[in-house]
Structure 1
């Protein structure tokens, strides 16, 4: 799940390589949004550590 933004960034690089600028920007924006959402879930997650 945490690798999803990096897969989207790789797709953006591939689309840019094939000169599909709009598709590359779409993948890049979606990758950023997914990364921010996953970071938000990670930051607000409660750790149940029992000593």
Structure 2
């Protein structure tokens, strides 16, 4: 049940949130908001797998 929930959230994230890896964002120069979004996407992806 929990895995399905995170899979749905991961698909929503893929559509709505920007992909910083495709934009080649340097994490050492990223803003706090960008780091927060990157961390959120990473957390959801790990939980969905």
Report the TM-score, using the length of structure 2 for normalisation: 0.43
Report the TM-score, using the length of structure 1 for normalisation: 0.42
Point out which structure has higher relative CO (alpha carbons under 8 A, 6+ apart): 2
